[in-house]
Amino acid sequence: MDARQRVGGIAALIEAATSIVGIAMFVTLLADYTTGDPTPSESVAFLVDNQAALRVWNIVIFIVFGIFLVPVVLALHERLRAGAPALAQAATAFGLVWVAATRSPVACGFCSSAWPHSEPQHCPKC
């Protein structure tokens, strides 16, 4: 196994870990916000009281995931291109579009961390 495949495999494991951590935080630390029907004042109070947890959650699910998605996409491209070149091209295109344009996980994650009090539509990159 060459180095790129090894890096892609490690990145995929990190991606799985970020998903598990994000879901675990969502159903435990953030459960009060995601269940029920909070009033606007309850929502604001929750967000103010849990800024640190929300920042960590945002960094894990957007920034870390987005950074490690690139080596996964490139490793998959390398692995698939000999046996299924059309699939490799399609998977690479979708993967890189997912990173760069569709969700912009890294850009939006950095924006939310840099401007935590702004609305997403006011973020210059989101």
Q: pLDDT of 115-126, one tens digit each?
A: 555 554 545 544
pTM: predicted TM-score of the whole model, two decimal places: 0.72
Torsion sign (Cα): 10, 24, 54, 19: positive
The residue type found at 18 is T
The token pair at 54 is 């929300």
Give the ranges where the chain is alpha helix by DSSP (H).
3-27, 31-34, 40-49, 51-58, 65-80, 85-97, 105-114
Which own/partner contact pairs does 45-54 have at CB distance under 8 Å and 24+ positions apart?
A: 51/116, 53/25, 53/29, 54/30
Q: Report the length, in residues, of the chain.
A: 126
pLDDT 10s digits, 56-97: 888 888 888 888 999 999 999 999 999 999 999 999 999 888
The arithmetic mean of pLDDT across residues 28-48, rounded, is 85
